[in-house]
């Protein structure tokens, strides 16, 4: 299981942001073997670790650690692929936000999770949360929340990703409706960075750090605002095509792979249980167990395989410490992770990282 990949349309956003800052990024694109022919391909994708390293290089060249906020400012609905086109032709803002979350998978896949959209009268039921937690999130009756999954632990390689997503959503929502005041609050999971003063330049609303997740709170009345480019027949045509593509993605996965994709986001300091995974799949635990056995496997084998492949990707492709990786994969201690990694690969994780970096 890989960490994930994204459409080259997100590289386009990085390029636009660098040019907006008056900086030519061609040397960085050359470094990562990205050419204009590849950028024009609808099927071309880059791995998430490669995207993070490219973004980090652009931050170093521009000396603008707030590059993600600039990326958000230049983001358009078309940069978000089919999900963005569906949002563009939606009837109102509520429908548009639903499209951004539902069809995100067609433009990017991340083992850490997928974005989600909820309206607070359904928020408690849909997330299995209590009304008390809704109040903790600061979501009032009728308000919406557009949520980006957690990518902690945060470091200099991934802050810009969260900045770009939330800033991009903010910009797209503003352009969809032609109104500035749809967003009540923007919440970031990480502490205020050294460039915290920059956020007031990109968000005309309250910005909060050290929150329980990354999300926008959308005003209740704004959810009913009409989209400027709404078109019911175009929307239905696009959605028909998007549903077919989404079904192809799902049909192309074995049940083992489907379970593995559910396990990935749940591996966040804890080891997911069969019951937790079954709930996410909307299946009974015995059904999940039976389907895995039919493919010649088991839940424990799928869990171990997911951990193994993710551990190799984390060690090889990221700058996360071994302690951080151990936590992300649900190990009780870094020592337990290192023992498991050596059993899986025949090498200690530190030696494995060093040897792969030289290749």
- Residue 306 CA: distances (Å) to CA of 134, 159, 309: 32, 25, 5
Give residue 257's pLDDT: 84
- Residue 132 CA: distances (Å) to CA of 112, 126, 210, 279: 26, 14, 19, 22
Give residue 132's pLDDT: 55
Instruction: State the burial class of residue 57 (Cβ atoms within 10 Å of its Cβ: 0-12, 13-18, 19+).
Output: middle
Question: Per-residue pLDDT for 102 more than 60?
Answer: yes
- What is the three-class DSSP state of 99? helix
Give residue 266's pLDDT: 84
Give residue 356's pLDDT: 66
- Which pLDDT band, with edges at 50, 70 and 90, does 270 fall under? confident
Question: Per-residue pLDDT for 327 more than 70?
Answer: yes
Give residue 128's pLDDT: 46
Give residue 355's pLDDT: 78
Between 11 and 333, name the one with better pLDDT: 11
pLDDT digits (tens, 9 = 90+) for 182-206: 999 999 999 999 999 999 999 999 9
Give residue 90's pLDDT: 97
| Residues above pLDDT 90, as percent of the chain | 50
Torsion of CA 239, 240, 245, 247, to 10 degrees: 110
Residue 226 DSSP class: B
What is the C-alpha separation between 268 and 265, in angstroms, rounded? 7
Record the pTM: 0.84
pLDDT digits (tens, 9 = 90+) for 218-236: 999 999 999 999 999 999 9
């Amino acid at each position: 299981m890989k960490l994930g990949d994204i459409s080259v349309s997100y590289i386009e956003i990085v390029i636009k942001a660098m040019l907006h800052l008056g900086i030519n990024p061609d040397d960085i694109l050359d470094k990562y073997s990205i050419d204009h022919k590849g950028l024009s391909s609808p099927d071309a994708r880059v791995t998430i670790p490669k995207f993070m390293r490219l973004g980090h290089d652009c931050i170093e060249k521009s000396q603008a650690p707030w590059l993600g906020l600039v990326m958000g400012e230049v983001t358009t609905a078309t940069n978000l692929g089919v999900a963005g086109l569906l949002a563009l032709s939606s009837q109102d803002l509520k429908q548009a936000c639903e499209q951004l979350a539902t069809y995100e998978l067609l433009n990017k896949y991340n083992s850490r999770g997928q974005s989600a959209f909820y309206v607070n009268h359904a928020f408690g039921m849909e997330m299995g949360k209590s009304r008390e937690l809704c109040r903790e999130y600061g979501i009032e009756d009728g308000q919406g929340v557009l949520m980006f999954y957690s990518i902690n632990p945060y470091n200099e390689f991934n802050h810009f990703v969260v900045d770009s997503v939330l800033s991009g959503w903010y910009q797209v929502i503003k352009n969809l409706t032609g109104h500035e005041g749809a967003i009540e609050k923007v919440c970031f999971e990480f502490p205020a960075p050294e460039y915290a003063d920059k956020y007031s330049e990109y968000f005309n609303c309250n910005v909060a750090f050290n929150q329980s997740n990354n999300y926008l709170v959308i005003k209740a009345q704004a959810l009913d605002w009409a989209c400027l480019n709404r078109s019911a027949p175009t929307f239905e045509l696009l959605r028909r095509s998007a549903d077919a593509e989404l079904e192809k993605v799902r049909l192309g996965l074995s049940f083992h792979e489907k379970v593995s994709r559910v396990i990935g986001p749940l591996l966040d300091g804890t080891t997911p249980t069969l019951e937790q995974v079954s709930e996410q799949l909307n299946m009974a635990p015995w059904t999940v167990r039976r389907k895995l056995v039919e493919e010649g496997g088991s839940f424990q084998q799928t869990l171990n395989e997911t951990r193994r492949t993710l551990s190799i990707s984390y060690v090889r492709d990221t700058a996360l410490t071994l302690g951080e990786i151990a936590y992300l994969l649900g190990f009780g201690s870094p020592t337990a992770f290192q023992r498991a990694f050596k059993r899986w690969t025949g090498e200690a994780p530190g030696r494995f990282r060093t040897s792969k970096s030289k290749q």
